[in-house]
């Protein structure tokens, strides 16, 4: 069983100086009085050393300013997950259409706006004219300062494949970076047909000296790009190094794939949740996603390094220092959704620098930051085998022994939600529950249907935890909403076999059922008729609905472009042949003139066998008829965990459903985004669907204050100071997975003068 690798050349030995640990942090530590980096600091711990706002006066917070950034979707599909940064009293953020803006951080007054849509893309295979990001998700930007005159913002607008370099003082593109201020992220991936695969970046890169280190967001389908980590020169845009997250021949980890050609076709293992950085040692840390495709791994046998792993790399060279895989051969979509946090604990009477990784499946792993050795034992436990043909699951999975799971990982009938819903609804979920595999958190995807606890949304999600370096307390917010994974055998006679049909209409219907019904439902109505499908929209009548602008209908060309690029939470399907896209468009858009045309791709190369699967996944959230998670509350909560002792100090629900709250049920809700903890004694968190921001006492977990927001703050708060005044700002984007109204405002709170 492959566990961890430590290289001989350690980058923490610099110029003859050996660094053994970071100094203890005090409340006045200047590193934590600014918020110039995504997550507040290079350690990505979302901690502020500011003390003006305290448990005693937080109730007096008032709105200091509101900035309307513009362009929220009227159909509630846009969101703003951005954690704004503040440098020299200037706040930088992104609007729902991923325009970059700079504000006076004290007043919210706009200084400039940069619109990526005004600059045509240049380079290979773009062909789209003005930039139009397909996946409008971007959680932040990176800031570089070379001098007072050379200050840069580097960011990748969501679903776009282009890294932009913008003058932070003027809002103008810097043409000497890359190709007219832009770098195409397809370039340098070292794979065939790299321009045909989707790649974007939803979490910002991190700056180390004159480098920006980037991860990626990829398709999770069988034909996907690899998630290699890369570093670029911040001045020239030149790619300086690459780390293969799917190892090439001769590289450590290559042996963890049974097929020696796997590196040529398997995708994923990407860093989509951002990075943390130990600047003194020159080490960058990341958690990686699953190898593709999700749920079926018959074509990617083996442990699949470096998927689902914590990585420590030399930030200057990209060389591997150590790794530890947290899920072997992932079949649950339990990718690592967030960066490790860098902390210092007391271990055996001395301070030890550690990297702490929280996971979707509710575990806390802790490693020596330098060596990668687990601080506490991690056991390999036996797990059930797979029943699917062609699948070869790992016989064991790693389980930490010191920290208790912070979410439920198995539920019984006694855990089903009963109070607050009619008995008929309870009987419905009870019947369904009894039909699923439920007795083991490691139960694998099945034709019968497997209840996955925690579900695909965690446990922890992309926000990650916050951490107070003065106390050693970590604050982790989490979700508890089970999902159902059911695999359908596509080769059964009673299913639609694409190879056996011949018209565009027949092929389009079969392709939709195989590729799209898992999100939009077999009836094509998505969350409109099936609450388990969440915010996924109905496709019925889409040919009559607006595309991007009022009065503009979906035509064949725009629909096929959408299939190719993806949009919002929809992944791209660029691997489909043009004829297949035409067939799907014919079915969905009801193009009568093409319905009876013969479908043929005989003149095209057949998809290789490793892109084919005998199953498709049909599943979604396990919900009551009313749309609530089918498990007893809490469905969302915030916990305080002592990293020295493992003790859970307190646990508090976050988020409410008003109709349940009226019945005395404080359920909590799914939450996305992190908390921010301050030296003043307060934790700030929004993240929930009920459009509020809250403050808790960091010692007791008591709710101290809450305020209504113009839309849900599905983001991490930013805490900063200007001229002696402390502010807390949150992006209020709503929309997205929470299926609440979309917004476009940033709201800042402060104490009255």
Instruction: Indicate if the pLDDT at residue 571 is higher than 90.
Output: no
Residue 129 has pLDDT above 80, yes or no: no
Contacts of 261 (CB under 8 A, 6+ apart): none
Q: What is the pLDDT of residues 670-714, one digit of tens each?
A: 999 999 999 999 999 999 999 999 999 999 999 999 999 999 999
Q: What is the mean pLDDT of residues 136-147?
A: 93
Strands 47-48 and 676-678: parallel
Three-class DSSP category at 186? coil
**Is the model's pLDDT at 574 over the cut of 90?**
no
Query: Residues 657, 673, 404, CA angle at the centre, nearest 5°?
Result: 85
Q: What is the mean pLDDT of residues 582-586?
A: 88
Using a 10 angstrom Cβ sphere, with 0-12 exposed, 13-18 middle and 19 or more buried, the burial of residue 664 is exposed
* Two tokens, residue 227: 């998630």
Q: Give alpha helix (H) positions in 228-291.
A: none
Q: Are 409 and 454 in contact (CB under 8 A)?
A: yes
Parse the chain into domains and list their residue ranges. 33-81+637-753, 491-612
pLDDT tens for each residue of 192-229: 776 778 888 999 999 999 999 999 998 887 888 999 99
| DSSP string covering 523-549 | TS-GGGT-GGGTTPPP-TTGGGSBSSS
* Separation between Cα atoms, residue 343 and residue 366, nearest integer Å: 10
**Who has greater pLDDT, 175 or 194?**
175
Q: Average pLDDT in the 376-387 region? A: 97
Q: How many CB atoms lie within 10 A of CB 91?
A: 25
Burial category of 561 from C-beta neighbours within 10 Å (exposed 0-12, middle 13-18, buried 19 and up): middle
Q: For residue 243, what are the contacts with CB-CB under 8 A and spacing of at least 6?
A: 228, 229, 230, 311, 313, 318, 319, 320
Q: What is the pLDDT of residues 468-482, one digit of tens each?
A: 999 999 999 999 999
Q: Report d(CA 516, CA 533) in Å as an integer.
A: 12
Q: Kindly report the CA angle at 100 between 98 and 105, in degrees rounded to 5?
A: 130
Instruction: Name 136's Cβ contacts closer than 8 Å, sequence gap at least 6.
Output: 78, 79, 96, 97, 98, 158, 159, 567, 568
Asked if 749 and 116 touch (Cβ cutoff 8 Å), the reply is no
pLDDT at 519 over 80: no
- Report CA 560 to chain centroid distance, whole Å: 26
Selected residue with higher pLDDT from 104 and 498: 104
Given a contact cutoff of 8 angstroms between Cβ atoms, the answer to whether 488 and 496 are in contact is no
SS3 579: helix
- Cβ-based neighbour number of residue 130 at 10 Å: 11
Q: What is the mean pLDDT of residues 95-121?
A: 88
In angstroms, the Cα distances linking 665 to 32, 625, 658 are 38, 18, 9
pLDDT for the residue numbered 150: 98
**Phi and psi of 275, rounded to 5°?**
-130, 165
Of the candidates 399, 347, 351, the one whose C-alpha atom is nearest the C-alpha of residue 375 is 347
151-170: average pLDDT: 91
- What is the rounded distance in angstroms from the CA atom of residue 387 to the CA atom of residue 331? 12
What pLDDT does residue 533 have?
A: 62
Is the pLDDT confidence value at 659 over 90? yes
Residue 102 binned pLDDT confidence (cut-offs 50, 70, 90): very high
pLDDT in tens, 273-317: 999 999 999 999 999 999 999 999 999 999 999 999 999 999 999
pLDDT at 430: 98
pLDDT value of residue 179: 95
pLDDT digits (tens, 9 = 90+) for 302-355: 999 999 999 999 999 999 999 999 999 999 999 999 999 999 999 989 999 999
Percent of the chain with pLDDT strictly greater than 70: 86
Q: Which helix (H) or strand (E) holds 692?
A: strand 692-697
pLDDT score recorded for residue 13? 32
User: pLDDT value at position 38?
Assistant: 98
pLDDT tens digits for 708-734?
Answer: 999 999 999 999 999 999 999 999 999
Q: Are 206 and 284 in contact (CB under 8 A)?
A: yes
Is residue 58 classed as helix, strand or coil in its secondary structure? Answer: helix
- Reported as a pLDDT band with limits 50, 70 and 90, residue 569 is low
Which tokens go with 23?
């100094």
The most confident of the ranges 78-87, 533-542, 729-738 is 78-87
Where does the pLDDT of residue 607 fall: very low under 50, low under 70, confident under 90, or very high at 90 and above?
low
pLDDT higher than 80, residue 266: yes
Strand (E) positions, 611-660? 615-621, 636-642, 648-653
pLDDT at 531: 57
- pLDDT bin (cut points 50, 70, 90) of residue 74 is confident
Whether the pLDDT of residue 3 is over 80: the answer is no
Contact 293, 245 (CB under 8 A): no
635-643: average pLDDT: 98
When the pLDDT of each residue in the chain is averaged and rounded to a whole number, the result is 88
In 543-597 the beta strands, taken as DSSP E runs, fall at none
Answer yes or no: are the C-beta atoms of 98 and 116 closer than 8 Å: yes
The helices-and-strands tally (H runs, E runs) of the chain is 7, 42
pLDDT confidence tier of residue 158, bands split at 50, 70 and 90: low
Q: pLDDT-derived band of residue 18, with 50, 70 and 90 as boundaries? A: very low
What's the pLDDT score for residue 512?
80
pLDDT at 568: 57
Q: Count other Cβ atoms within 10 Å, centred on residue 322.
A: 24
> Is the pLDDT assigned to residue 161 strictly greater than 80?
yes
Tell me the pLDDT band of 178, cut-offs 50, 70 and 90. Answer: very high
Q: Which of 146, 260, 125, 243 is nearest to 193 (CA)?
A: 125
HSE at residue 379, side-chain half, CA atoms within 13 A, is 6
Q: Which residues contact 722 (CB under 8 A, 6 or more apart)?
A: 86, 89, 105, 106
CATH architecture of 491-612: Orthogonal Bundle (1.10)
Comparing CA positions, the residue from 235, 208, 211 lying closest to residue 151 is 235
Any idea which of 1-10, 381-390, 594-603, 693-702 has the lowest mean pLDDT?
1-10
Q: Is 328 exposed, middle or buried (0-12, 13-18, 19+ CB in 10 A)?
A: buried
Please compute the mean of the pLDDT values over residues 644-667 and round it to a whole number. 96
pLDDT of residue 618: 81
Rounded to an integer, what is the distance from CA 727 to the centroid of its chain?
A: 27
Q: What percent of the chain has pLDDT over 90?
A: 69
Rg of the chain, C-alpha, whole Å:
25
3-state SS class at 432: helix
* Predicted local distance difference test score (pLDDT) of residue 11: 36
Q: Which residues contact 345 (CB under 8 A, 6 or more apart)?
A: 351, 352, 354, 366, 375, 472, 643, 644
Helix, strand, or coil (residue 116): helix
Task: Say what the pLDDT of residue 134 is.
Answer: 46
pLDDT in tens, 229-244: 999 999 999 999 999 9
Q: Are 373 and 367 in contact (CB under 8 A)?
A: yes
Q: Please state the rounded mean pLDDT for residues 635-647.
A: 98
Q: Is the pLDDT of residue 24 over 90?
A: no
């Amino acid at each position: 069983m492959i566990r961890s690798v430590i290289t001989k050349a350690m980058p923490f030995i610099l110029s003859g100086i050996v660094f053994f640990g970071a100094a203890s942090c005090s409340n006045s530590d200047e590193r934590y009085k600014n918020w110039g980096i995504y997550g507040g600091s290079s350690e990505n711990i979302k901690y502020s050393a500011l003390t003006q706002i305290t448990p005693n006066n937080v109730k007096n917070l008032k709105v200091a300013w509101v900035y309307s950034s513009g362009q929220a979707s009227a159909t509630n599909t846009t969101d703003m997950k951005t954690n704004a940064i503040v440098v020299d009293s200037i706040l930088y953020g992104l609007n729902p259409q991923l325009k970059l803006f700079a504000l006076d951080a004290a007043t919210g007054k706009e200084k400039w706006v940069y619109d990526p849509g005004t600059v045509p893309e240049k380079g290979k295979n773009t062909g789209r004219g003005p930039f139009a990001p397909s996946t409008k998700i971007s959680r932040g930007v990176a800031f570089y300062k070379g001098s007072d005159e050379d200050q840069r913002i580097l960011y990748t607008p969501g679903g776009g494949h282009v890294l932009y370099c913008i003058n932070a003082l003027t809002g103008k593109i810097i043409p000497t970076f890359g190709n007219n201020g832009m770098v195409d992220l397809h370039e340098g991936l070292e794979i065939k047909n790299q321009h045909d695969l989707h790649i974007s970046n939803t979490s910002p890169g991190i700056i180390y000296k004159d480098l920006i280190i980037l991860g990626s967001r990829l398709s999770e389908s069988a034909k996907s790009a690899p998630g290699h980590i890369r570093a670029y020169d911040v001045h020239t845009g030149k790619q300086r190094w690459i780390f293969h997250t799917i190892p090439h021949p001769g590289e450590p980890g290559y042996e963890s794939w049974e097929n020696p050609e796997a590196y040529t076709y398997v995708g994923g293992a990407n860093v989509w949740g951002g990075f943390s950085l130990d600047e003194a040692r020159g080490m960058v840390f990341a958690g990686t996603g699953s190898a593709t495709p999700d749920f079926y791994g018959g074509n990617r046998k083996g442990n699949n390094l470096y998927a689902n792993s914590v990585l420590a790399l030399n930030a200057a060279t990209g060389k591997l220092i150590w790794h530890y895989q947290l899920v072997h051969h992932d079949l649950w979509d339990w990718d690592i959704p967030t960066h490790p946090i860098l902390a210092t604990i007391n271990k055996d009477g001395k301070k030890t620098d550690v990297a702490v990784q929280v996971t979707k499946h509710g575990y806390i792993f802790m490693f020596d930051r330098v060596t990668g050795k687990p601080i506490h034992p991690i056991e390999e436990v036996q797990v059930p085998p797979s029943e699917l043909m062609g699948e070869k699951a790992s016989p064991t999975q790693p389980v930490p022994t010191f920290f208790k799971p912070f979410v439920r990982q198995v539920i019984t009938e006694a855990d089903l939600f009963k109070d607050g819903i009619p008995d008929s609804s309870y009987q419905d979920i009870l019947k369904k529950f009894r039909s699923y595999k439920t007795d083991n958190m490691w139960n694998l995807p099945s034709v019968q249907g497997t209840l996955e606890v925690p579900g695909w949304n965690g446990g922890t999600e992309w926000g990650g935890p916050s951490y107070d370096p003065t106390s050693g307390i970590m604050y982790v917010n989490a979700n508890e909403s089970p999902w159902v994974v059911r695999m359908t055998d596509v080769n059964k006679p009673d299913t639609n076999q694409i190879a056996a049909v011949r018209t565009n209409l027949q092929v389009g219907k079969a392709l939709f059922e195989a590729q799209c019904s898992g999100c939009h439902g077999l009836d094509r109505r998505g969350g409109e008729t099936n609450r388990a499908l969440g915010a996924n929209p109905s496709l019925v009548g889409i040919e009559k609905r607006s595309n991007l602008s009022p009065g503009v209908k979906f035509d064949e060309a725009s629909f096929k472009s959408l299939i190719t690029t993806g949009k919002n939470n929809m992944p791209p399907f660029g691997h489909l042949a043009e004829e297949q896209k035409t067939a799907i468009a014919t079915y969905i858009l009801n193009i009568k003139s093409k319905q009876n045309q013969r479908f043929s791709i005989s003149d095209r190369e057949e998809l290789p066998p490793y892109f084919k699967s005998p199953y498709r996944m049909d599943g979604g959230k396990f919900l009551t008829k009313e749309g609530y998670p089918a498990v007893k509350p809490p469905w969302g909560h915030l916990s305080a965990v002592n990293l020295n002792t493992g003790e859970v100090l307190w646990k508090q629900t976050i988020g409410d459903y008003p109709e349940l709250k009226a019945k005395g049920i404080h359920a909590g809700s799914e939450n996305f985004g992190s908390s921010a903890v301050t030296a003043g004694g307060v934790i700030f968190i929004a993240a929930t669907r009920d459009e509020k921001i809250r403050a808790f006492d960091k010692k007791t977990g008591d709710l101290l204050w809450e305020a209504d927001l113009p839309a849900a703050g599905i983001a991490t708060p930013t805490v900063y100071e200007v001229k002696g005044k402390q502010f807390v700002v949150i992006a209020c984007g709503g929309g997205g997975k929470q299926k609440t109204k979309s917004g476009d405002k940033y709201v800042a709170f402060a104490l009255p003068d």
